[in-house]
Structure 1
Amino acid sequence: MTNSILIITTSFIIALLLYPSLIRLLIYKLAAVDVPDARKMHKAPKPSMGGILFFLLALVPVLVYVDWELLNSSDVFLVAALFSILLVGFYDDLYNLRARYKLLFFVPAIAFLLFGAGIRITNLNGIIGINQIDTFSSYGLTIFAVIALSNAFNLIDGIDGLAASVGLVACGVLGYLLYNQGFVFHGLLLFGVVGTILAFIKFNWQPSKIFMGDTGSLFLGFLITASLIRFVESSHLEISTSEIVFINPITFALAVLIIPFFDTFRVFTIRIINGRSPFDPDKNHLHHLLIQAGFNHARATLILLASNVLFILLAFALKSFSDTSVFYIVFVLGLTSSVSLHFWVYKNSFENKRKIVLARIENSQLKQTISKELQLQEVENEAVMSN
């Protein structure tokens, strides 16, 4: 694991040195800023596209320190897929692509992933009674999972530090697991991203100086999803070189993406129930709810990150139990936590509004009482003056 430490350190130092220059470039040369609107949480324009360095500064030290004899065609196609998805986010940040065009740009990235890197879902491990699935279903489910989860991760990038923190933990854990499963290049690449994110968080923490943009959030979502699929599929093999063996890899995958998965699931459900398109933007995401509850960006991020870490630790603790035994438990816990936060915030919000209304009524009544007393005092004064 010596190379992993070198890669994390190198990517961290280079990113730390380059981000100030990138911020100035985005503001003064490219004018690539995220302008606030009614839906967004920031109040002033800030540079976006900070995620453009995630992949580039992760890949360079990996290519320097890795043993090139360990590289294979799967690694090359993985790099091609990641570069393709980086371009999707980059063009989306520049031109605010419509959903259908964004999906079109996903095609080459997914093609590289499926047919080149050979990363696809082939087994559901007994979830809803399904184990091995046919090739056609495998391709379809993989395409759906990659697009849905990449965009779900994109949706949590709404407050300072949240997407970067969740991505940091996911990449760190998956880097360690995949490295130990024998996917050396893939694991080291994840470690390189860890180093870059560590530097990025310094500039993205409240009060942030830069956002990762879709360039970063789509890239991280795609990378984490692809890594989880590879981890799950490798865990199904009877012979494993990993020091840590998961009998329930799908439960672990759910735990890693617990925040974006249930946040998107809950928000889309609410929109559909209210007769709206599930893609209509609003302020019902988990991070919005915590801000409404009175937490600042940093505390809201730490609460959600701590929840994510707890679910990952729970998955580690339950790794000896089958998916059919524990998947539904983790699913219900995640769903319950998400829904409970929703109702708790809205209950508090209702109570706060009621108190404000009552205070205004009392204030209005007090003003009326004071006004009447002043009028009576003026009448008494006039009576005394006339006498």
Structure 2
Amino acid sequence: MINYEYTFLVYAEFFVGITVFGLVINTILLKFSKTLGVRDKENTMIRWSPISKPAMGGITFFISFLVSTGCYGILFDPQEVFKNLEIICMISALLLAFIMGLADDAYNTKPWLKFFIQLSCGLLLIFGSVQSGSEYNFIIKFFEIDFLNYLITILWVVGIMNSINMLDNMDGITTVTSIFILLTSLVFMGFQNSFESFDFLVVMGVVAALFSFLFYNWSPAKIYMGDSGSQFIGLFLAIIGIKYFWNSSIFNTNLVIHSKQIIIVLLLFILPIVDTTSVFINRIARKQSPFIGGKDHTTHHLSFLGFNNTQIIFIFSGIAFLSSLISIIIYRFVDYWSYLYVTLYGIYILAIFITLYLTTQQHKELRK
């Protein structure tokens, strides 16, 4: 039986500790690594800020993740960490994403190499789940055919890693979006009484790292997340999304329940999905590569409409909070799922998409 008072105190101390640890790491890196991850002028011109700043978020995120992993082994179950093939593959995939991001921050790696690494991360997760003989925690359970589940898992991992990377285009935006998604996953885990699980501790550690990073990433930012940060966070969100949103224990196998699965995923990842979709549509319509950076994101167009960076952060935070709240209500209180709910929540999702997409059709001349 879980001693909730003791567990709460342990997690409170852990969260504060990781937050302070992250602040110290960020302060040290900011002081001694002024050029780490800084792009040259040619490359920074496609970014929103005209000022080159260090991109070090991934370092803090990955170190905090490793510390959280070690703390779980000390506080709870070392066997779970060091002998669980799924967790080993998860750590390996996150390490691969982090290293690839570091390389991209330093050398501007080719898009095909980034795609290959992202694909490898997805395959590592599938391998870990299949070989461990578990319930396929890192494989999306949507179809009855395993191959199709593997395929959608790969598409999900690659898609979220890229969408989080693309969303990291303005101070604080990706950080607050990621915080809301991960906080919602903690609530879902709480409903499942998974307080002493590996996932609960490491998610809390990454959330603490994000809060410590937000201190320096809030507008006007002193440091950027960089590819090392966005690739790590993107993969981490993809993994948590699979385990607690795609494969939630509340889902069954009929078509209506599958729609519930999709609605919750779309609600929680609505901001990166809408931003990436809008960018792809607009760039393809202009016959431009969707993979080349530019000032044509939803955040940029909100700025063109007169909102400042801080106001845009609050707009995105409001959407993320409301979407998280709706998903929690669905998870906890909506037992009988029907097409009425699909319609209602589908209208909300569509309204967010149309509203943000329409902003990208305003002041097109300012994209350049």
Higher radius of gyration, 1 or 2 = 1
TM-superposition CA deviations, 1:115-141 (whole Å, max 9, x none): 114411122xxxxxxxx3311111111
Residues 200/287 of structure 1: CA separation in 2 closer, same or farther (3 Å cut): same
Q: Is the 8 A contact 1:26 1:48 kept in 2?
A: no
2-structure distance, mates of 1:102, 1:310: 33
**Is 1:110 matched up with 2:122?**
yes
Unaligned runs of 5+ in 2: 1-6, 130-135, 253-257
Partner of 1:365: none
Shift of residue 34 of structure 1? 3.4
TM-superposition CA deviations, 1:214-240 (whole Å, max 9, x none): 1111111111111111113242577xx
**Is 1:343 matched up with 2:358?**
yes
Partner of 1:34: 39
1-structure distance, mates of 2:51, 2:291: 25
Partner of 1:14: 21
Partner of 1:361: none
**Aligned residue type for 2:33:** L
TM-superposition CA deviations, 1:161-203 (whole Å, max 9, x none): 1111111111222134235544810121010001111111111
Partner of 2:218: 205
Partner of 1:147: 158
Partner of 1:51: helix, strand, or coil?
helix
**Aligned residue type for 2:308:** N
**Is 1:196 matched up with 2:218?**
no
Shift of residue 281 of structure 1? 3.0
Residues 67/31 of structure 1: CA separation in 2 closer, same or farther (3 Å cut): closer
Q: Is the 8 A contact 2:297 2:360 kept in 1?
A: no
Alignment identity in percent?
Answer: 25
TM-superposition CA deviations, 1:44-72 (whole Å, max 9, x none): 21001322211211331442253125543
Partner of 2:48: helix, strand, or coil?
coil
Q: Is the 8 A contact 1:57 1:192 kept in 2?
A: yes
Residues 237/322 of structure 1: CA separation in 2 closer, same or farther (3 Å cut): closer
**Is 1:122 matched up with 2:131?**
no
Residues 46/343 of structure 1: CA separation in 2 closer, same or farther (3 Å cut): same
Partner of 2:255: none
2-structure distance, mates of 1:333, 1:67: 41
Partner of 1:233: 247
Q: Is the 8 A contact 2:59 2:228 kept in 1?
A: yes
**Aligned residue type for 1:33:** V
Q: Which runs of 4+ in 1 moved over 6 A?
A: none
Matches within 5 A, 1:280-291: 280-291=292-303
Residues 145/247 of structure 1: CA separation in 2 closer, same or farther (3 Å cut): closer
Residues 179/186 of structure 1: CA separation in 2 closer, same or farther (3 Å cut): farther
Shift of residue 247 of structure 1? 9.3
Q: Is the 8 A contact 2:278 2:357 kept in 1?
A: no
**Aligned residue type for 2:29:** L
Partner of 2:294: helix, strand, or coil?
coil
**Is 1:267 matched up with 2:276?**
no
Q: 1:167 aligns with which of 175, 178, 201?
A: 178
2-structure distance, mates of 1:146, 1:195: 23
1-structure distance, mates of 2:327, 2:358: 26
2-structure distance, mates of 1:263, 1:327: 22
Partner of 1:217: 230
1-structure distance, mates of 2:320, 2:338: 19
**Is 1:157 matched up with 2:168?**
yes
Work out the number of aligned pairs and report it: 335
Partner of 2:71: 64
Q: Is the 8 A contact 1:250 1:323 kept in 2?
A: no
Which segment is superposed worse, 58-67 or 213-222? Answer: 58-67
Shift of residue 95 of structure 1? 1.3
Unaligned runs of 5+ in 1: 124-131, 239-245, 354-387
Partner of 1:34: helix, strand, or coil?
coil
Shift of residue 301 of structure 1? 1.0
Q: What is the TM-score when the length of structure 2 is the normalising length?
A: 0.82
Q: Is the 8 A contact 1:7 1:62 kept in 2?
A: no
**Aligned residue type for 2:175:** A
Partner of 1:45: helix, strand, or coil?
coil
TM-superposition CA deviations, 1:283-340 (whole Å, max 9, x none): 2211101111111111111101111111121222333153855445434433332332
**Is 1:55 matched up with 2:62?**
yes
Q: What is the TM-score when the length of structure 1 is the normalising length?
A: 0.79
2-structure distance, mates of 1:338, 1:286: 10
**Aligned residue type for 1:21:** I
**Aligned residue type for 1:122:** K
1-structure distance, mates of 2:40, 2:314: 25
1-structure distance, mates of 2:25, 2:200: 24
